[in-house]
Structure 1
Amino acid sequence: MRTRTPARGPAFTGLGLGTAQLGNLGGVVDDADAAGALDAARDSGVRYFDTAPHYGLGLAERRPGAALARRPRAEYVVSTEVGRLLIHSPRTAHRQDDGGFAVPAAYRRVLDFGRDGIPRSLDGSLRRLGLDHVDVVYLHDPDAHWRQAAGTGVDTLVAPRDRGVVKAVGVGMNQTAMPAGSVRRCDVDLVMVAGRHTLPDHSARDALLALARERGAGVVAAAVHNSGLPATDRPTAGATYGYRPASRALTDRAAAIAAVCARHGVTPPEAAVAHPLWDPAVVSVVTGARDTAQSAGSARRVTADVPDALWAEPAGLGLVPGLDPVHRTTGRRA
């Protein structure tokens, strides 16, 4: 699998494995399936693995840590996120986590983007991963704490970057305005934007991507299937978008895009992975998996042959933005 290297930071494979589902997002994933997803990703050529303490209260860090411990450390890139401390909470361990993960609530999340909280968060992640360093650290969804995150938070991450504990620092969010602000005003190397550079949602294109190219910041596109709508060959009743029922307008547009894809011999899931990689600012597309089959399926999608002509037709219909010359310089393959 080809790699892409931002101006500052490590080389990324065009496809990365996100581990929220391996933290039991929305339901239990057993250890065998989790290990199968991780091994299948690596066997397919994936060398970028993204995780966070928030996912499964640390489970999504422990599982990749155990799987990757069998591999040479120089072979792979690991990113994690800071801003949520996991505080042991034995009094709630009999309950289930209320953050959307099917795990016992043996820890509670405490938001902290300060000078003390960020090093503590990173140290905890390193212990759970079993690593002495990670390659990338993102500030995790600091929406309500943006002033602190953009100031103290980024400044605090620069020190471990300069010591070599991390290779690159950035922010990871589900919006575009604050990540764009971090590229414009802060010393960040990367931004991870979830669900905003996708077939249904093009908001990152003008707000973030052009600025990232100008400033030399790399972009990681996550949640490219928007929780479900472009994840099947045809949108079905009950399809979700952003973890909520999709509107009629979105479902109709997804059906129109699916019809165009079919005429070009491409599936919407393949197009959803290929679309973000057209932009030269994008260094990787991160998708999740719950088992071997899903992990291997993502790898097949990212290497699918998606012809240039596919994008001209939906652009002419106003379904997706057209490709401008800057996109055509890079090609689509991961």
Structure 2
Amino acid sequence: MFTVPALGLGTSQLGNLGRVVSDDDAQAVVSTAWDGGIRYFDTAPHYGLGLSERRVGRLLQQYPRDQFTLSTKVGRILTPSPDTAHLRDTEGFDVPADLKREWDFSADGVRRSIEASLDRLGLDRIDIAYIHDPDDHWTQASQEAAPALVALREEGLIGAVGVGMNDSAMLAKFVAECDVDLVMCAGRFTLLEQPALGDLLPVAQDRGVGVVIAGVFNSGLLATARPRPGATYDYAEAGADLVQRANDIADICEQHGTTLPVAAQAFPWLHPAVVSVVVGCRSASQVQSAVDAEALGVSPELWTALDEAGLLAPGLLGETTR
């Protein structure tokens, strides 16, 4: 199994997700992560039309290359778009729309994507390349992109082949049918919901494929000690029922001497297939909170209490706790 550091930094925010992050703040994010012991950094061309890759690559160049793990993604090719250069990106990132994304999971597209990422990063290699969001592209992603990444792995241009997406059922299919080393599952094995327990995690464990868990806060709902109406879930406003469920979980967290965000970050480690947890941060203080949460952990009694309250998937503790 490909080895990944236990705590990773997700860098979509360094691509100006939602709002601008200054160069100084981006530098503070990466330096605080490094000083806190984080050695896994995840990025993608999609994040800010390449801005995240450029920033991450530049900021990591000050550190020894053999001391950190870097992942990026394939599936979206960035091409010049002079007709929209005067506009802003329409996919959630506050950057000029001088480039556009084109879906491409072909073997040639994968190679071009990796070459372009290496150029933006300014680094000599990519440790993990994930097929990114292939939800509507199963056939090409599985039959062309995955074999192309395997070939790049054999050539030594990447270290490991992965798939990253929100759909745990399709990730399970990639694990079962393709030669992948890792998968990144976002938002589907969290303290709030655990559908990956029924599809992805068992097959990954059986096949020795590592699972990296991202989106542990479900895009915001679990990121504060007391979620309020208007909190986000999967990048949209959470319904009242989800806010209530999150607060029910928060009540029990408080009773066991911890907070909802700390418990949310610790939760994925209940399953033995999980090899890393990636947390997205836009400020040094958020990074420090993630580092502190990793050190704090939670008491095993918390999981039992949540299970007894019916706030975890039935049977989760009996099947997964190690």
The interval holding the TM-score normalised by the smaller chain is over 0.9
Q: Which residue of 2 aligns with 1:3?
A: none
1:1-334 map, 5 Å: 7=1, 9=2, 11-321=3-313, 323-324=316-317, 327-329=320-322
Alignment TM-score, normalising by the size of structure 1? 0.94
CA distance in 2, matches of 1:328, 1:27: 39
User: How far is 1:326 from its partner?
Assistant: 5.7
* Aligned structure 1 segments of 4 or more residues deviating by more than 2 angstroms: 321-329
Give, as a single letter, the amino acid of the residue that structure 2 aligns with 1:327.
Answer: T
Amino acid in the other structure paired with 1:259: D
Q: Which amino acid aligns with 1:226?
A: N
Task: State the distance in 2 between where 1:99 and 1:239 align.
Answer: 20
Task: Give 1:4's aligned residue.
Answer: none
Per the alignment, residue 332 of structure 1 pairs with: none
1:324 to partner: Cα distance: 3.4
1:179-232 deviation line (CA, Å, top 9, x unaligned): 100001110111101100101120011211111000000001001101111111
Structure 1 counterpart SS, 2:275: strand
Q: Which residue identity is paired with 1:176?
A: S
Unaligned runs of 5+ in 2: none
Counterpart of 2:58 in structure 1: which amino acid?
A: A
Residue 144 of structure 1 and its aligned partner are, at CA, apart by: 0.9
Paired with 1:123 and 1:326, the residues of 2 have a C-alpha distance of: 42
Give the letter for the 1:284 counterpart: S
Aligned length: 321
CA apart distance, 1:56: 0.2
Contact (CA 8 Å) 1:311, 1:323: kept in 2 or not? no
8 Å Cα contact 1:231-1:269 kept in structure 2: yes
- RMSD over equivalenced CA pairs, Å: 1.1
Deviation at 1:32, TM superposition (A): 0.2
Instruction: Indicate the percent of aligned positions where both proteins have the same amino acid.
Output: 51
SS at match of 2:158: coil
Q: What are the Cα deviations for residues 44-76 of structure 1, in whole angstroms up to 9, with x where unaligned?
A: 110000000000000000111011100100000
Mapped partners of 1:259, 1:320: distance in 2: 14
Deviations 1:147-186 (A, max 9, x none): 1101111011111100111111011011111110000111
Point out where structure 1 has 5 or more consecutive residues left out of the alignment: 1-6, 330-334
Counterpart amino acid of residue 81 in structure 2: S
- Specify the SS of the correspondent of 1:109: strand
Q: 1:138 aligns to what SS in structure 2?
A: strand
Distance 2:297 2:236 in 1: 31
